[in-house]
Amino acid sequence: MITSLIFLFLSFIAPVWANSVKTVRLCEKGVLTAYVSPRGTVLDFPTEPEKVVLGSKNTFSIEYIRSDLTISPLSLQARSNLFVYVQGRRFVIDLITSQANGAATYYIRDCVEDRVKVKKSGK
């Protein structure tokens, strides 16, 4: 009986799709377009952002949780630029609320082009 109830309960839970979590490489010279779910989205950075500036006030609610930024749209048409300062670098993110394309989490990683290349010595 309990097993049947658990199965019935789990059948009503919406499946998690692969597009709800995205890993992106963010370059300092580029602009990331982030589709924000109406339920909210998390931007996960490798380190804690030093400062965050929202371009258009009263469009999104933003909270810090260590290296994560939780973003919730204040309307279904909300759109704004977000400027994130991390370790002396500035990243620009275009936030767009989208019911169809909104991701639950964006894992933001450093752009390959911005990394310092180390030459091997010896050979």
Domain residue extents for the chain = 18-111
Give yes or no for a contact between 112 and 25, defined as CB atoms under 8 angstroms apart.
Answer: yes
Query: What was the pLDDT predicted at 3?
Result: 54
DSSP notation for 22-90: EEEEE-TTSEEEEEEPTT-EEEE-SS--SEEEESSTTSEEEEEETTEEEEEESSTT-EEEEEEEETTEE
- Write out the chain's pLDDT in tens, 123 residues: 655 545 444 444 444 443 588 888 878 788 889 999 998 999 999 889 999 999 988 999 999 899 999 999 999 999 999 999 988 888 899 999 988 887 888 888 877 654 555 556 655
Query: What was the pLDDT predicted at 89?
Result: 87
Query: What was the pLDDT predicted at 15?
Result: 45
107/88 Cα distance (integer angstroms): 19
Query: What was the pLDDT predicted at 88?
Result: 85
Structure tokens belonging to residue 18: 């692969």
Q: Which CATH class is domain 18-111?
A: mainly beta
Report which residue type is found at 38: P
pTM of the model: 0.72
